């Protein structure tokens, strides 16, 4: 009887411990788990590319996968797409030995795929993080004046930093919000030094 009681007690302790451990691993995101996040993304152009389009992008998304590599440190891959567009009622573009003027419509698509590393300084329901991303970016720019159009596409280097936080809503699910700065070597619309500042909000699932 004593043996049975002892065994039952031991089993209960083990089950409780397992339950506690499970509750701990799913109560907030730590880089001991895998996570993927889908976010709505907005953005601004910075640097010389802002001379091509300087209106806010309201169309974009970001898909982010992360895996634990160490305590408080994750590695992963992120892909994001943004559409910037702007209409100029009248624009004069100076060119070598000439100029072109007229009402102009421009848009710019950016699609980046980058490897990431993130650091989580705090643990808890609210988990801020800092990260870096390095990889490539595909850009497609289009401009049209009257019914004449010019396009250009390029694949270039992209690097940047992220800052954000995960707010756990329930075990396995968090709100993911953050800000990213990206520098690229892409020459968009005859500009150089293309930079982007994106902010986002979305949901993260971890397991």
CA distance 150 to 162: 33
Asked if residue 101 binds another protein (CB under 8 A), the reply is yes
Q: Sign of torsion, CA 153 157 162 166?
A: positive
Nearer to another protein by Cβ, of 8 and 101: the residue is 101
Q: How far apart are alpha carbons 143 and 106 in whole angstroms?
A: 4
Q: How far is the CB of 70 from another protein (least distance, A)?
A: 28
Residue with smaller CB distance to another protein, 81 or 138 = 81
Question: Which CB atom, from 87 or from 192, has the smaller least distance to another protein?
Answer: 87
The correct pick among 4, 95, 121, 170 for binding another protein (CB under 8 A) is 95
**Residues facing 203 on adjacent strands:** 38, 175
Question: Is 170 a residue that touches another protein (CB under 8 A)?
Answer: no
DSSP assignment string, 5-65: HHHHHHHHHHHHHHHHHHHHHHHS--TTS-EEEEEEEEEEEEEGGGGT--SPB-EEEEEEE
Q: How far apart are CA 43 and CA 41, in angstroms?
A: 7
Query: 100 and 61 in contact (C-beta within 8 Å)?
Result: no
* Number of residues counted as binding another protein (CB under 8 A): 35
**9-38 positions binding another protein, by CB under 8 A:** 38
Residues of this chain, 178-197, that bind another protein according to CB under 8 A: 190
Provide, rounded to whole angstroms, the least separation between the CB of residue 71 and another protein: 28
Residues found near another protein in the complex (CB under 8 A) = 38, 40, 59-61, 81, 83, 85, 87, 89, 92, 95-105, 107, 142, 144-151, 190, 203, 205
């Amino acid at each position: 009887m004593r043996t049975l009681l002892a065994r039952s007690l031991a089993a209960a302790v083990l089950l409780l411990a397992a339950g506690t451990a499970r509750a701990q691993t799913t109560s907030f995101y730590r880089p001991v788990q895998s996570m993927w996040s889908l976010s709505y993304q907005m953005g601004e152009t910075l640097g010389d590319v802002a001379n091509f389009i300087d209106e806010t992008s309201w169309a974009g998304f970001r898909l982010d996968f992360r895996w634990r590599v160490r305590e408080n440190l994750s590695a992963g891959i992120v892909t994001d797409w943004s559409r910037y567009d702007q209409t100029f009622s009248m624009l004069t573009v100076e060119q070598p030995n000439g100029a072109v003027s007229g009402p102009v419509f421009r848009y710019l698509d950016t699609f980046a795929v980058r490897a990431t590393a993130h650091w989580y300084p705090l643990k808890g329901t609210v988990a801020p993080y800092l990260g870096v991303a390095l990889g490539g970016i595909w850009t497609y720019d289009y401009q049209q004046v009257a019914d004449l159009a010019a396009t250009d596409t390029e694949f270039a280097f992209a690097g940047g930093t992220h800052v954000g936080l995960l707010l756990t809503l329930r075990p396995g699910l968090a709100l993911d919000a953050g800000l990213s700065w990206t520098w690229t070597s892409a020459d968009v619309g005859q500009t150089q030094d293309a930079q982007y500042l994106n902010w986002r909000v979305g949901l993260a699932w971890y397991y």
